[in-house]
Amino acid sequence: MIRKSAFITGVNGQDGAYLARFLLDDGYEVHGMVRRASMQRNDRIADIARHIHLHYGDMTDAGNLLRLIKNVAPQEVYNLAAQSHVQVSFDTPEYTANVDALGTLRLLEAIRILDMQDDCRFYQASSSELFGNSHAAVQNEQTPFAPASPYAAAKLYAYWLVRNYREAYGLHASNGILFNHESPLRGDEFVSQKIACAAAAVKRGEDTMLTLGNLDSRRDWGHAKDYVRGMWLMLQQDKPDDYVLATGRAETVRWFVEKAFECVGINIEWRGTGLDETGFCVASGRPLVAVDPRFYRPVDVGHLCGDASKARKALGWDAAVKLETMIEEMVSAQMSKQ
Ligand code: NAP
Ligand code: F7E
């Protein structure tokens, strides 16, 4: 039997690691692109690295991407590589645009120049950040976009390019408009992992204080392993399209803190407001959580909650992992780290 081949940019990121496992389990020949100067090395894929064909590459290097696509000749390309941190995008807007927006253009151009549009399907990691502060209570594929960061603006450019290459050149290219998804492999600087890490540290007896920005922000958090299945499903359809993947449930950052600390047997009580808001351990009275304006963003997206009806109907996709279960998994993974 001929094995299908897939090429994943950002293979050593959170989603890349889950997707590579998913595709290997399905019998794919998996190729992944990593940077020589990777920020996180290949820790997330250490256990499967020998089964993946790893290639050095960078989204900022057009010739490199063209050579890789030519040599690998994949049937499926999953473009997951990105400067993915929203707050960092305010500090590095041009770099974020280069990687997230122009990087996607370079990859699509490689497929077009090589005349591979009939042989290769393309998945683009679009984001719920496209909706920004659209003020819709629930967002779906029809909700107008209102990007509120350089990251979101770069992802919006990539989103439209994907649609344009689909219409102009007949490329089977799909956007997955994914709401936040987390896991034990989530980067340390994202709020879910930061909270899980702090809850575990307090449980271990460390003298630590969790400092956060906007506690009122509401996010629709799912589990990465559900979301990579959705990416794959999009590329198995006869026709390319754009799909929202989400759980349909939004909670605040404050709520996430309470649940994560509950996982280690600590109840949090909040006192004060704004910059003075502090989370105390109910049992000991010890302050455990404080607000630090350094983590405020110049503009924040206050409320994201997705409607994945289209993906449920067309792809048969659903978010299987419950939020509370995922938080327990993340805290427990942090507890087992020293
Ligand atoms: P992640 O953990 O931050 O992974 C990003 C990957 O991109 C890493 O492997 C990183 O490699 C790579 N990368 C960064 N800059 C690169 C460059 N210039 N050239 C090549 N590779 C580069 O992100 P994730 O959570 O897995 O997300 C995957 C994708 O989905 C991203 O595009 C993200 O923007 C998007 N997305 C994520 C979510 C979410 O909630 N997780 C939701 C919607 C959309 P290094 O080790 O070299 O840094
Ligand atoms: O922030 C608030 C912060 O950085 C979530 C990326 O995967 O999902 C992710 O982007 C919320 C924001 O994720 C802290 O202001 C409070 O409102 O975990 P985050 P994000 O910005 O939603 C989307 C869908 C993507 O596409 C992105 O690639 O939490 N928040 N205090 C904090 N956030 C962080 N990081 N750190 C804090 O201390």
| CA distances, 26 to each of 16, 116, 123, 155, 239 (Å) | 15, 24, 17, 29, 21
Q: What is the pLDDT of residue 1?
A: 67
Query: Rounded distance, CA 163 to CA 311, Å?
Result: 18
User: CA 188, 229, 331, 324: dihedral to nearest 10 degrees?
Assistant: 130
Could you tell me the distance, in angstroms and rounded to a whole number, from the CA of residue 100 to the centre of ligand 1? 9
Is 334's C-beta closer than 6 angstroms to any atom of ligand 2? no
Q: What is the pLDDT of residue 338?
A: 63
Residuewise pLDDT in 10s, the chain (338 residues)? 678 999 999 999 999 999 999 999 999 999 999 998 776 678 899 999 999 999 999 999 999 999 999 999 999 999 999 999 999 999 999 999 999 999 999 999 999 999 999 999 999 999 999 999 988 999 999 999 999 999 999 999 999 999 999 999 999 999 999 999 999 999 999 999 999 999 999 999 999 999 999 999 999 999 999 999 999 999 999 999 999 999 999 999 999 999 999 999 999 999 999 999 999 999 999 999 999 999 999 999 999 999 999 999 999 999 999 999 999 999 999 999 86
230-247: burial string, b at 16+ Cβ within 10 Å, e else: bbbbbbeeeebbbbbbbb
Is 38's C-beta closer than 6 angstroms to any atom of ligand 1? yes
Query: Rounded distance, CA 196 to CA 264, Å?
Result: 10
Is 297's C-beta closer than 6 angstroms to any atom of ligand 2? yes
Structure-token pair, residue 187: 């980067």
Is 98's C-beta closer than 6 angstroms to any atom of ligand 1? no
Could you tell me the distance, in angstroms and rounded to a whole number, from the CA of residue 317 to the centre of ligand 1? 22
Query: Can you tell me which atom of ligand 1 is nearest the CA of 14?
Result: 26
Q: What is the pLDDT of residue 238?
A: 98
> Which of the listed residues 190, 214, 256, 257 should we mutate to test ligand 2's pocket, taking the one with most ligand atoms within 8 A of CB?
190
Q: What is the pLDDT of residue 287?
A: 98
Could you tell me the distance, in angstroms and rounded to a whole number, from the CA of residue 280 to the centre of ligand 2? 23
Query: Rounded distance, CA 184 to CA 329, Å?
Result: 7
Amino acid at 7: F
Give me the residues paired with residue 218 across strands: 252, 303
